[in-house]
Structure 1
């Protein structure tokens, strides 16, 4: 009797279970959401754009499966200038300064991987780095005499959100102005920039935490090939508009460049390569305003074995500023003053325009931008004081401007145009 009562119940149970299973199999399966990282969304910090010419908001990017996102950009720009009182003729194999020139200022491209543990940055091409009060060669001559067609190339390993290490050819940690024209408020670099190294080779450690960031590097200073410089930089972001920092470095050893050809002495000047440098800088950036004052001190010690017959120091200050009247037009300016220790005519160590000399400069640069295209003009004036004068009858040149080296002022008119992408 019991067995007969259980049989219908068991059959009903099996039928019910089978119906439920069939319903489950027929029902659509809802996938579990899986987070997929967005491609080509990294924040690019290189190359640094410090002026009214801005980095592309949509840089070219492609994804390499299993490796990551690769970003590509570049700058194709040209410039023309005319100037008074160009420098005396250069010794071979260096070319001579010119009163006027039309040339490319950048024929460069860069490629980078900017996220993940392993990153890299490579910048290649031809470039000009015009500077006030300094001889200005053609673009391809400068590319050859300075850092080759591969000025920047380094790899970087990111340990975590705070620490990273990088090595190769890198922009210097020193100074306020960047190397290439499109990166800056002005077309020409300033007088203080002439005391600083630009690109160096070595290893750099970076740390950041909140408003603090710091870097320390062992490098070859003025592209000497000898890793003997120790450089560092510390910045603190007071708020979204105000940043303060200190940076500097020194040669811990001695570098003899006198037995090298003039070609390499152009990139690696004897006095600056064996010097120390210290900068204090501040930047205000808010709305249409960019204001960046900074102070600089440099020093080179006497070293008879290297041909440095007297020690010397320089002191200088500069203020760079820009105001954007509209989204398409901004006006930038720079004022500098720099002086060197010593008594005029007393020695051969010249970090500026001879012992005891001083210099001031004024630059104004209006810039028009239209999407990725820009055009800008520039007027600059450099005035020298207490230079060491030469005597052509005796075969000596002064330490100033002009073919005899006895001129004390230089005016330069420039225009630059091109695109960045």
Structure 2
């Protein structure tokens, strides 16, 4: 996970390492660290599923993945973190969206928070925070793969709220009151707990659920649901192996057109092997089961699909391979991913008409970090 965020969960692995920050004296604010990343991707995909004229509808295309500056203060009782710029979230089984359109999700300031640190064992963060849910992070440079996975697609990415962090020995915990899927409705509680068994093995648990009901016109799909996950990380020498399992329950909500409760659940294994200090290979394999009934929801909108980009009553497998090269601030990586799904007759997740059940993508991403 990127610098400056102190959250209690199994550490998220990434073969990319941001160089040491540029440090400036900011008068009464003290020392300020500045980092940045500029990167882009090119891709090929069969069965594109985007709307005509969009990036996702292309078989071949290119776009920005990161164009961001990170400014943070990491010392003293009052700290802060600011991340600003352009970004995109390429995700398996989901239409590719240009950075120009993606920026509308969380604005040009996707993450920003104030951090109060009264002691080395306790801190409080207030602002736009990364989610405690899942093991893959928001931005491409933070993960071993360029694309985020099937399980990531049903998780919150950024939430506004307040988060309490505490640690003692091998045990760490975080608790957050927030607006879930960036809904501006503060009725969600999120928590995570991790225990370092030893220097190489860490076990973690995370959960999220609503504190009350939300109204139809306030994006209730994710905020109505509960998510639970357990993850484990082994990291030693050149190896990082991280399996995790995730379960999501969406309750019956007749006012939203959900006449039956349903569950989404799946598991994934992420791994990374470093051949040298500059060359590594990342891999991910996943399985996701999607519940629900096709077409169930207001105006026949498929609520299960809106949470996962896969149709209700389906299941999918994926595999992703990502060799990565980094030397100093320069990096380049390639990726090959494949998703296949079993869906009800007449349903799918890819292709112009949305009924194809497989998708192959090839990507390259390169850029500079400072």
Normalised by the size of structure 2, how large is the TM-score?
0.91
Is the counterpart of residue 205 in structure 1 residue 167 in structure 2?
no
Q: Check the 8 A contact 2:348/2:355 in 1, yes or no.
A: yes
Unaligned runs of 5+ in 2: none
The more displaced of 175-184 and 343-352 is: 343-352
What residue in structure 2 maps to residue 143 of structure 1? 103
Contact 2:341 2:348 in 1 (8 A): no
More strand by share: 2
- Report if aligned partners of 2:259, 2:296 keep a CA contact under 8 Å in 1: no
Larger Rg: 1
Alignment of 1:200-279 (within 5 A): 200-256=159-215, 259=217, 270-279=220-229
2:320 aligned residue (356, 363, 369): 363
Distance change >3 Å, CA 102–CA 346, structure 1 → 2: closer
Task: Output the CA distance in 2 between the equivalents of 1:220 and 1:130.
Answer: 23
Q: Deviations over 1:76-100 (max 9, x none)?
A: 011111111122538x9x9864333
| Cα separation, 2, equivalents of 1:61 and 1:382 | 43
Aligned pairs for 1:14-413 (under 5 A) are: 44-46=3-5, 50-56=13-19, 58-87=20-49, 89=51, 97-144=57-104, 146-256=105-215, 259=217, 270-342=220-292, 348-350=302-304, 351-352=307-308, 353-389=310-346, 398-413=347-362
Once residues 62 and 50 of structure 2 are traced to their aligned partners in structure 1, the CA distance between those partners, rounded to angstroms, is 20
Please give the alpha-carbon distance, in whole angstroms, between the structure 1 residues aligned to 2:294 and 2:183.
Answer: 30
Q: How many Å separate the matches in 2 of 1:171 and 1:343?
A: 31
Post-superposition offset of 1:253: 2.3
Classify 1:103/1:343 alpha carbon distance in 2 versus 1 (closer, same or farther; 3 Å): closer
2:100 counterpart SS class: helix
Shift of 1:377: 0.2
Higher RCO (Cα < 8 Å, 6 or more apart): 2
Q: How far did residue 356 of structure 1 move?
A: 1.8
Deviation, structure 1 residue 49:
7.1
CA distance in 1 between counterparts of 2:329 and 2:59 reads 31
Unaligned runs of 5+ in 1: 1-42, 261-267, 390-397
Q: Which moved more, 1:95-104 or 1:293-302?
A: 95-104
- Provide the rounded CA distance (Å) in 2 between the counterparts of 1:256 and 1:303: 11
1:105 deviates by 0.4
Distance across 1 between alignment mates of 2:30 and 2:169: 27
Asked if 1 retains the 8 angstrom alpha-carbon contact of 2:38 and 2:66, the reply is yes
CA distance in 2, matches of 1:367, 1:303: 45
Is this contact kept in 2: 1:330–1:367, CA < 8 A?
A: yes
RMSD: 2.2
Deviation at 1:386, TM superposition (A): 2.3
Count of aligned pairs: 358
Contact preservation (8 Å) 1:84, 1:410: yes
Residue by residue, what CA displacement relative to the aligned partner does 1:383-410 show, whole Å, maximum 9, x if unpaired?
0102351xxxxxxxx3421112211100
